[in-house]
Structure 1
Amino acid sequence: MDVGRLQALRELARCGTIAAAADALFLTPSAVSQQIAQLQDEAGVKLTERVGRGVRLTPAGQALVAHAERIMVVLDEARSEMAQLRQEIAGELRVAAFPSVASAVLPETVKALQQAFPRLEVVLEEMEPVDGLAALRSWRTDIALIDDLSIVLGENNESVGLVPLAEDVLHVVLAAGHALSRKASLSVADLKHETWAIDSTSSVFGDFIASLCRRAGYEPRTNAKCRGFEMVGAMVASGCSVSIVPGLRQTRPLAGIAWVKLRPEVRRKIYVAFRRGERKHPAVNAFVEEVVRTASRLLG
């Protein structure tokens, strides 16, 4: 059976639709449909079935996906062993990371790796945790930095290995001259009458902040849906808005903003994710060790 076709079936199982699987694999929906049809011919058994306008896996398809997961791990282990036998840390290593942790730890991590391994090229791509994990599973990246606010860990992630990187505490941010800025801590309820700037780069994080407000008994009045923290910071510093943001953002503070502890405390855990079969890959191992060391030094 063709590995690429197995991967297409695996992505269909993960994504739920042909279109979403095609997006994950950077293919057209027709190409994915063709690969799955060819795999079905190779298997000699029906792997998918129509459900309304969509498709779902048959029991045979689900069984084959389970085998595909194991096959992909073995292939990763083979690539890792070949890399170990070359006895050189070199080539391209692709890393996906969400902005707050990327800006806090990755510049120093990459600098250290460049100095230690001149032939290793680390290529960074900014991705939210959900997208980074999807890219990792579909071989579009080699490392993904993820968090447990955005992702249900352990859910359909048998092929993914995790190493703890850091813990982050969410903070309220207000203009430095705001009436609440001198408080030792603030609850979400204390912000009921404020207008909000929300970083909507990740719908998951924005939805999480909105859910905190709803649990406090109100719908947040949003006057800025921003594509990144720079605009959130500008709106907050001007006094137009308040927000709740990752504490990691304090590593590169903006002028005119007061940081106040959120009460009760909300923490998120950040992990380095990799394909389980590549844990011993020299480049992957070097990156994991260096980013953990850098995070411990800068954030510990």
Structure 2
Amino acid sequence: MLDVRRLRLLRELAHLGTIAAVADALAFSPSAVSQQLSVLEREAGVPLLERTGRRVALTPAGRNLVRHTEAVLELLERADAELAHARSGLAGPLRIGAYPSAVRALVPAALAELASRHPELEAMVSEVDPAGVAAALRAGELDLALVHEYDLVPGEPEEGITLTGPVFAEPMYLAARTAGALADHRHSPWISAPPGTLCHELTRRACQAAGFSPRIRHRVDDFAAQLALVAAGQGVALVPHLGTGHCPPNVALTRLPIHRRTRTAFRAGAAAHPAVAAFAAALYAAVPAELRAA
């Protein structure tokens, strides 16, 4: 009988690419991961990995086993959801991931609503960039998370992760000392989130669509700080609605035909879990009516 814990290691290797990354994600030593994968190969009776120097790749049999592993883990999530429905009341930890502007603007109200309905449920919130959500969900560090995408930067599907339809959509704004269009700032310095984030990619693609490449001077992953830099004459920035709550008076916000859309993400099979559904309902209640997705 194949061991589910070892199958999970193989699944993570397929997603993360290296044994070191799997060890880091799941709090193992690299040698322990290698040892467990070797045991899994003996259990399977066929080679699952191809080793070339320091690199490891999955064989066709290994890739096929990962496909079955995704199905097995989804069934286990569904079983856990059914058991949760059989218990009386919701209790215990619920680990929630969210990006910073949602943590500040929406999550407190959602948690208050959740606590009023399910006082024994212990919500635990962690700030996480959407790029890191899938790995955190697969590793069991989170039970669900809020993720966002932009019109110009759609989210990429992740095996083993389910995304809901948009919960709400925010307009994006050009923040500058004076109102204007994107094309008016082809020679301006720009303020953006660090490379590797969806926000950085949005700035790059939006400017390219306007006919130029942005000259990014400041890399700051906080919208309030970006607005403060704009107010100080340090450049211009793209800011979503939730990030404009403390806009300095000398900053003009020009609405753009671009939206940021927020979805909830969780492990495949967990959609019916009552704690996941309870938080989703509390979040929807916290979203201003004008932002709610139809």
Normalised TM-score (structure 1)? 0.88
1:13 counterpart residue number: 14
Identity rate of aligned residues, in percent?
36
Structure 2 spans left out of the alignment, 5+ residues: none
1:219-253 superposed Cα distances (whole Å, 9 cap, x missing partner): 32222211322321210111221111222213454
1:229-279 superposed Cα distances (whole Å, 9 cap, x missing partner): 2321210111221111222213454443221122xx122321111123222
1:3 counterpart residue number: 4
Distance 1:225 1:156, change over 3 A: closer
**One-letter amino acid of the counterpart of residue 73, structure 1:** E
2:202 counterpart residue number: 208
Matched position secondary structure for 1:278: coil
**Is 1:152–2:155 an aligned residue pair?**
yes
Q: Distance in 1 between matches of 2:81 and 2:259?
A: 34
Matched position secondary structure for 1:148: strand
1:69 counterpart residue number: 70
Q: Give yes or no for contact 1:69–1:159 (8 Å, CA) kept in 2.
A: no
Moved more, 120-129 or 101-110: 101-110
**One-letter amino acid of the counterpart of residue 71, structure 2:** R
Cα offset for 1:209? 1.1
1:65-106 superposed Cα distances (whole Å, 9 cap, x missing partner): 111111111111222122111121111100111112332221
Q: Give yes or no for contact 2:167–2:263 (8 Å, CA) kept in 1.
A: yes
Q: Distance in 2 between matches of 1:52 and 1:83?
A: 46
Cα offset for 1:297? 3.6
Q: Distance in 1 between matches of 2:161 and 2:233?
A: 46
Matched position secondary structure for 1:277: coil
**One-letter amino acid of the counterpart of residue 21, structure 1:** V
Moved more, 20-29 or 122-131: 20-29
1:278 counterpart residue number: 270
1:120-141 superposed Cα distances (whole Å, 9 cap, x missing partner): 1111111111211221122210
1:110 counterpart residue number: 111
Matched position secondary structure for 1:164: coil
Distance 1:254 1:133, change over 3 A: farther
**One-letter amino acid of the counterpart of residue 152, structure 1:** G
Q: Distance in 2 between matches of 1:213 and 1:159?
A: 31
1:169 counterpart residue number: 171
1:124 counterpart residue number: 125
CA RMSD of aligned residues (A): 2.1
Q: Distance in 2 between matches of 1:18 and 1:5?
A: 13
Q: Distance in 2 between matches of 1:197 and 1:239?
A: 11
Q: Give yes or no for contact 1:201–1:226 (8 Å, CA) kept in 2.
A: no
Distance 1:151 1:64, change over 3 A: farther
Moved more, 105-114 or 156-165: 156-165
Structure 1 spans left out of the alignment, 5+ residues: none
Q: Give yes or no for contact 2:7–2:69 (8 Å, CA) kept in 1.
A: yes
Cα offset for 1:168? 2.2
Normalised TM-score (structure 2)? 0.90
Q: Quick one: which of 215, 218, 223 aligns to 1:224? A: 218
Q: Give yes or no for contact 2:224–2:243 (8 Å, CA) kept in 1.
A: no
Distance 1:298 1:134, change over 3 A: farther
Q: Distance in 2 between matches of 1:243 and 1:210?
A: 11
2:192 counterpart residue number: 198
Q: Give yes or no for contact 1:172–1:242 (8 Å, CA) kept in 2.
A: yes
Q: Distance in 1 between matches of 2:223 and 2:203?
A: 14
Q: Distance in 2 between matches of 1:290 and 1:249?
A: 21
Q: Distance in 2 between matches of 1:190 and 1:34?
A: 58
Q: Give yes or no for contact 1:128–1:202 (8 Å, CA) kept in 2.
A: no
